[in-house]
């Protein structure tokens, strides 16, 4: 990402130039490769460059042949080769930059020029002959862009990539609307982006085409591999980033065959990008794509990302960070993100830390998976959508606001370290397809989980000859918001720290500090305070707080949605085998805390489900216990027991899919417990009794690089054996079909009654607790209302939740937010 700053109609532009260069320097982190500026009449354009395409000649601002048009751009134009070809020999291009085509599109089409662009961009173009400025932003707002005015300079207008350039000279600032263009001659901003899905009242009825979904997303990824520098992919292990990584691996692998592809126009042979046949030309050839992930040690995303990387064969870098490192970076994150939205800051902090690591490896561009949840209704609160019209309306609203949420996070978290993030899901063509079919197909329920359409489009289980895109358990993995997936301890630490940093007294007076958009939690208060210390009040109007629809939760975390909690509890009970393992206990720890604080009534449901599962499993079930697995369509069912000697069925016993590369061999051995004699005593009474057995399936896999790896799965099943014990004729004691003795029954029933009683009492107490605090008018977590709030200190030792202590620095926590220095010190 590059950085731009511009001012048009300044009353003293030459005197303002030194100040303009200083303001431009404030965003040099976005473009550390070169700085440039042009002054003409009463207009100045400055540019901080990150060179990715046309690295040898693309310094900006760009100028036309006669120097009458001056252009400063932040972004990438993926169809620039096609545009150049359409001009023929009419114009003489000065550089290899993909952005230079904007100059001549303006010359040909005036303010309709942005309609012809396929890419992400924000630009300011000055026409010196007409003393006119036009400024535009890409359709979704992938690149950050702001516009400002100074009341003492009524004719002047300012533009910049970030707020920190504008607030020293502007007293009114707005986030430039995506898909719009500004014309200084009319002083009007008009929308040029007019897709068929823009009006939410128009509910589409086009039938779903899964193959078209797959094809357009693959093309979108291919476009975004246009680069002359090293690139990689952000891989969280979730569905979205994993699919992007899978496609990128295929395109990178195929790129070696296309690097030598000749364009029909010989003048374009030296240019990278997509041609009119959909082929990608790049000057880089990579044997293996690089992938990157980050999380707390043992985080869900880290484990899943490594599994995907192993499956795809990427060169994977899995980084970890500590809670203290994340807390130390918060102020810098807010400075770079220029927001106080809770969910954006939570998710941006790990991404900010990861971007620094990536840039240190020499990588300048990464692909990322933003936009999918908004398009397909992937957030868990979409479970509560009442009908398809409401579902579609919400997806349209979310896509329109991406520039204030996930696009802002992806753009600014990475550009803080001179790294560019590209988002294939927000391709114009893909959006037209993905937002243009009947939204009933996106609805959650009737056996379908969130983003079923996207999962089904890339599920190749019905295509025997096709190479799988992802392992099934990744393709059908439930949604984790990035701030949750990096480790549940991260959010808990933020809440706990905010509870100590912000006193009850200060929180109660928040309405006196902010007459509008007042924080509703101490965590939100803490972020708003740090924002106000670095940015003046005119910047706050550019911030939008992300909150879920159709939910009573004020916490935007995905795991605060009851669907997330319920699904994990159902998974626990479906896997219940008479004991709770340490794995389940560690999984339930954060979920139980969330349930107790936000969904006390759910505990009553848990009590009923848990007790019924226990009783049926331990007392009434006369068949062997069987694991439940997710089907390809997102439903849950019990697989058939595998034959002890069979190894041909890929899905037997719920085994994961075979990696797509290389050959594999499979061997199976059976271990039956207890052992039985080969020569039974024929004089005794023989009874056929089902006995639990274990089938050990060992796979030796050879990948595309000739490396071998062995995996072993132990699959439970049953085997009929002979026994001369008459008591086993009915599977156990007389009248006991499950083999449980009367004494064991008493113990189990006692445990069940105790568990049900405890959960019921806790659930009722939670309801009373919630009612009590609702009467006090509080919507915050009750645990934050403490009488023993510590006094304001400059340094505190705060328990971290893992038995250790962490130190949090700050000034007088009770003082009102002020305006601090614009440049923070780096703590990471």
* Beta pairing, strands 43-49 & 3-8: antiparallel
**Residue 101: how many other CB atoms lie within 10 Å:** 24
164: enclosing H helix or E strand: helix 163-166
C-alpha angle with apex 335: 231 to 491, nearest 5 degrees? 80
Measured between alpha carbons, how far is 115 from 121 in angstroms, rounded to an integer?
12
- Write a three-state SS string for 287-347: CCCEEEEEECCCCHHHHHHHHHHHHHCCEEEEEECCHHHHHHHHHHHHHHHCCCCHHHHHH
Respond yes or no: is residue 582 known to be catalytic. no
User: Per the structure block, which two tokens stand in for 47?
Assistant: 């540019």
Measured between alpha carbons, how far is 689 from 646 in angstroms, rounded to an integer?
22
Active-site choice (2, 7, 99, 165): 2
Q: Please, which residues have CB within 8 angstroms of residue 478's CB and are 6 or more apart in sequence? A: 449, 450, 564, 567
List Cβ<8 Å contacts ≥24 apart for 20-24: 20/44, 20/46, 21/46, 23/160, 23/165, 23/166, 23/168, 23/169, 24/48, 24/165
C-alpha angle with apex 464: 458 to 469, nearest 5 degrees? 30
- Given a contact cutoff of 8 angstroms between Cβ atoms, the answer to whether 282 and 255 are in contact is yes
CA 593 to chain CA centroid, nearest Å: 24
Measured between alpha carbons, how far is 588 from 586 in angstroms, rounded to an integer?
6
Secondary structure (3-state) at 793: coil
Q: Which residue has the tokens 């979904």?
A: 213
Q: Which residue has the tokens 């700050």?
A: 810
Q: Please, which residues have CB within 8 angstroms of residue 414's CB and are 6 or more apart in sequence? A: 1, 351, 355, 366, 420, 421
Cα distances (Å, whole numbers) of residue 222 to 219, 236, 285, 427, 664:
5, 20, 14, 11, 30
Measured between alpha carbons, how far is 328 from 333 in angstroms, rounded to an integer?
10
Q: Which residue has the tokens 């023993």?
A: 788
Measured between alpha carbons, how far is 730 from 737 in angstroms, rounded to an integer?
6
**Residue 216: how many other CB atoms lie within 10 Å:** 19
What is the edge-to-edge ordering of all strands in the sheet holding 708-723?
Answer: 664-672, 687-702, 708-723
**Closest Cα partner for 349 from 325, 318, 378?**
325
**Which residues are catalytically annotated?**
2
């Amino acid at each position: 990402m590059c950085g731009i700053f511009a001012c048009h109609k300044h009353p003293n532009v030459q005197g303002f130039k030194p100040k303009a260069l200083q303001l431009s320097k404030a965003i040099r982190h976005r473009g550390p490769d070169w700085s440039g500026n042009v002054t003409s009449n009463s207009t100045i354009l400055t540019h901080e460059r990150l060179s990715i395409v046309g690295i040898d000649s693309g310094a900006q601002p760009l100028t036309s042949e006669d120097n009458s048009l001056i252009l400063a751009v932040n972004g990438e134009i993926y169809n620039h080769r096609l545009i150049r070809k359409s001009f023929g020999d009419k114009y003489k291009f000065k550089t290899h930059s993909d952005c230079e085509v904007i100059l001549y599109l303006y010359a040909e089409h005036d303010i309709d020029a942005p309609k012809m662009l396929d890419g992400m961009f924000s630009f300011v173009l000055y026409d010196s002959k007409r003393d006119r400025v036009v400024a535009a932003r890409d359709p979704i707002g992938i690149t950050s862009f702001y516009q400002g005015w100074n009341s003492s300079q009524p004719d002047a207008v300012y533009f910049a990539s970030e707020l920190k350039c504008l607030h020293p000279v502007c007293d009114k600032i707005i986030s430039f609307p995506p898909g719009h263009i500004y014309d200084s001659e009319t002083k009007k901003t008009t929308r040029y982006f007019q897709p068929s899905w823009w009006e939410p009242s128009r509910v589409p009825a086009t039938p779903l085409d899964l193959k078209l979904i797959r094809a357009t997303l693959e093309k979108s990824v291919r476009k975004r591999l246009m680069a002359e520098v090293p690139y990689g992919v952000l891989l969280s292990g979730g569905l979205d980033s994993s699919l992007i990584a899978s496609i990128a691996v295929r395109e990178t692998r195929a790129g070696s065959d296309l690097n030598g592809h000749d364009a029909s126009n010989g003048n374009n042979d030296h240019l990278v990008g997509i041609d009119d046949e959909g082929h990608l030309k790049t000057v880089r050839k990579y044997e293996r794509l690089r992938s990157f992930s980050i999380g707390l040690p043992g985080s869900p995303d880290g484990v899943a990302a490594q599994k995907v990387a192993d499956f795809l064969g990427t060169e994977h870098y899995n980084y970890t960070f500590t809670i203290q490192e994340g807390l130390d970076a918060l102020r810098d994150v807010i400075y770079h993100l220029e927001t106080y939205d809770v969910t954006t800051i939570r998710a941006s902090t790990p991404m900010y830390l990861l971007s620094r690591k990536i840039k240190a490896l020499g990588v300048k561009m990464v692909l990322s998976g933003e936009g999918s949840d908004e398009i397909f209704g992937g957030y868990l609160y979409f479970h509560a959508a009442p009908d398809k019209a409401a579902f579609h309306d919400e997806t349209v609203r979310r896509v329109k606001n991406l520039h204030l949420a996930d696009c802002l996070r992806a753009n600014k978290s990475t550009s803080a370290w001179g790294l560019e993030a590209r988002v294939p899901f927000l391709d114009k063509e893909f959006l037209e397809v993905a937002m243009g079919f009947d939204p009933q197909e996106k609805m959650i329920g009737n056996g379908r989980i969130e983003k079923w359409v996207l999962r089904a489009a890339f599920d190749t289980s019905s295509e025997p000859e096709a190479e799988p895109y992802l392992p099934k358990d990744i393709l059908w993995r439930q949604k984790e918001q990035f701030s949750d997936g990096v480790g549940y301890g991260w959010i808990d630490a933020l809440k706990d720290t905010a509870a100590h940093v912000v006193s009850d007294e200060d929180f109660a007076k928040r309405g006196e500090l902010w007459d509008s958009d007042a924080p509703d939690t101490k965590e939100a208060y803490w972020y708003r305070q740090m924002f106000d210390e670095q940015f003046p009040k005119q910047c706050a109007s550019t911030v939008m707080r992300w909150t879920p629809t159709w939910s009573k939760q004020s916490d935007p975390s995905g795991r605060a949605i009851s669907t997330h909690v319920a699904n994990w509890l159902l998974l626990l009970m479906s896997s219940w085998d008479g004991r709770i393992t340490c794995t389940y206990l560690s999984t339930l720890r954060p979920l139980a805390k969330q349930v107790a604080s936000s969904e006390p009534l759910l505990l009553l449901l848990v009590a009923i489900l848990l007790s019924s599962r226990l009783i049926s499993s331990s007392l009434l079930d006369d068949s062997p216990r069987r694991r439940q697995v997710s089907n390809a369509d997102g439903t849950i069912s019990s697989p058939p027991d595998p034959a002890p000697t069979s190894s041909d069925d890929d899905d037997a016993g719920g085994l994961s899919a075979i990696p797509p590369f290389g050959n594999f061999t499979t061997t199976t051995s059976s271990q039956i417990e207890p052992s039985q004699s080969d020569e039974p005593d024929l004089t005794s009474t023989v009874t056929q009794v089902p006995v639990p057995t274990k089938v050990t399936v060992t796979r030796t896999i050879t990948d595309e690089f000739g490396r071998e790896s062995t995996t072993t799965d132990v699959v439970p099943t049953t085997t009929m054996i002979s026994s001369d014990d008459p008591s086993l004729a009915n599977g156990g004691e007389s009248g006991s079909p499950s083999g449980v003795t009367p004494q064991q029954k008493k113990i189990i029933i006692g445990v069940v009654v105790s568990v049900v009683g405890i959960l019921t009492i806790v659930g009722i107490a939670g309801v009373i607790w919630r009612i009590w605090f609702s009467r006090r008018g509080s919507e915050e977590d009750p645990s934050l209302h403490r009488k023993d709030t510590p006094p304001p200190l400059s340094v505190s030792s705060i328990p971290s939740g893992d038995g250790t202590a962490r130190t949090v620095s700050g000034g007088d926590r009770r003082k009102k937010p002020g305006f601090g220095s614009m440049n923070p010190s780096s703590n990471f």
